Amino acid sequence: MKTWIGIVTFFALFVPVFAGAQGINTNVALAVAEDEAIFRSQVRYRRATDDPTGMDREVEALVLPQTLVYGVTPRWTAFVTLPVLALRKIELGDGRVNKDSAVGDLRLLARYTLLADDPAPLSTRRLALLAGMKFPTGARRFGSPSFDPILGLVGTWAANRHEVDLDALYTITTERNDVEVGDQFAYDAAYRYRIWPARFGRRLLQFNGVLEMNGRWAAKTRIDGRTVAASGGSVLELSPGAQFITGRFIVEVSVQIPVWQDPNGSQIEEDFTGVLSMRIPFDVGLR
């Protein structure tokens, strides 16, 4: 049972908390206009086949994080994220195959801009505070029964064709129903370069290349006061990607390749994660 929990929670813990206005796997501090909203639908395919036990176990997961972003004021932005596990396939060492699907835990966050300096039309320096809560809305096999506070910082520096984004988020997990998933820490760095156009004209078209480093750490899970050895751990991923931006939508692709990972216990190490997403901005018009 504990080995099963380790396989399941490893994939559940490393779903991104949310995605901001420009990054693929990294949050950004760029503003969302007041009364403007962005809906982002993302597809994440994750595969893990490197089994340290020699039992040749394999895990595949298709996760669909759905995010709604809303500009409350020029400084306040709200985020709602609901991850959906469309398919998880676990092939055990004895040849058995288990498949399931589930809805994950809802996350509500707010971003407050602490610093905003725009020295030129295509240049900015921004620092923002993130705070929110994870709610136990999902199935236990793809979430946890607790209410967990989230706190973090995100910074963005942009100058003409270049942009650098940095973020760090810490989730303080709590115990409920004798289950306590370990605390989680996420940290990311992204560099974005506008490949085309070199200079903007009348058309609102843009193609960007993106290179990211995405890190995740999670402490071990405790159930009924006992520590689950095969749970939590660390992973650091190199994530090249691309963005195609128009005035009506944004399409993004990325692949996350682990360059270092240390899952606790007998958990299977990741092979890669493929990411495809689309974002659609729209005017809410509440005022």
Q: What is the CATH number of the domain that holds 237?
A: 2.40.128.130
Residue 154 resides in a domain: yes
Q: How many independent structural domains does the chain possess?
A: 1
Predicted local distance difference test score (pLDDT) of residue 95: 79
Residue 87 resides in a domain: yes
- Residue 210 CB neighbours (<10 A): 23
Query: Which segment of 3-17, 110-124, 184-198, 248-262 scores lowest on mean pLDDT?
Result: 3-17
The answer on pLDDT for 245 being more than 60 is yes
User: pTM, whole model, 2 decimals?
Assistant: 0.90
Predicted local distance difference test score (pLDDT) of residue 38: 94
Residue 99 resides in a domain: yes
Predicted local distance difference test score (pLDDT) of residue 45: 96
Residue 163 resides in a domain: yes
Predicted local distance difference test score (pLDDT) of residue 4: 46
Query: Which segment of 52-66, 72-86, 159-173, 267-281 scores lowest on mean pLDDT?
Result: 52-66
Provide the pLDDT confidence category of residue 2 given band limits of 50, 70 and 90.
Answer: very low
Give, in degrees to the nearest 5, the angle at Cα 67 between 140 and 73.
130
Residue 263 resides in a domain: yes
Predicted local distance difference test score (pLDDT) of residue 3: 45
**Helix-then-strand count for the chain, H and E:** 1, 16
Residue 287 resides in a domain: no
Residue 30 resides in a domain: yes
Cβ-in-10-Å burial (0-12, 13-18, 19+) of 282 comes to exposed
pLDDT digits (tens, 9 = 90+) for 183-215: 999 999 999 999 999 888 777 789 999 999 999
pLDDT digits (tens, 9 = 90+) for 3-49: 445 545 555 444 554 544 457 999 999 888 899 999 999 999 999 98
Residue 190 resides in a domain: yes
Supply the range of the domain harboring residue 121: 2-282
The answer on pLDDT for 65 being more than 60 is yes
Average pLDDT over residues 149-164: 96
Shortest CA distance to 272 belongs to which of 52, 76, 60?
Answer: 60
Predicted local distance difference test score (pLDDT) of residue 196: 93
Hey, what are 97's tokens? Answer: 């195959």
Q: Are 235 and 14 in contact (CB under 8 A)?
A: yes
Predicted local distance difference test score (pLDDT) of residue 287: 60
User: Which one has a higher pLDDT value, 5 or 263?
Assistant: 263
Average confidence score pLDDT of the chain: 88
Q: Are 46 and 61 in contact (CB under 8 A)?
A: yes
Predicted local distance difference test score (pLDDT) of residue 286: 63
Hey, what are 205's tokens? Answer: 């078209």
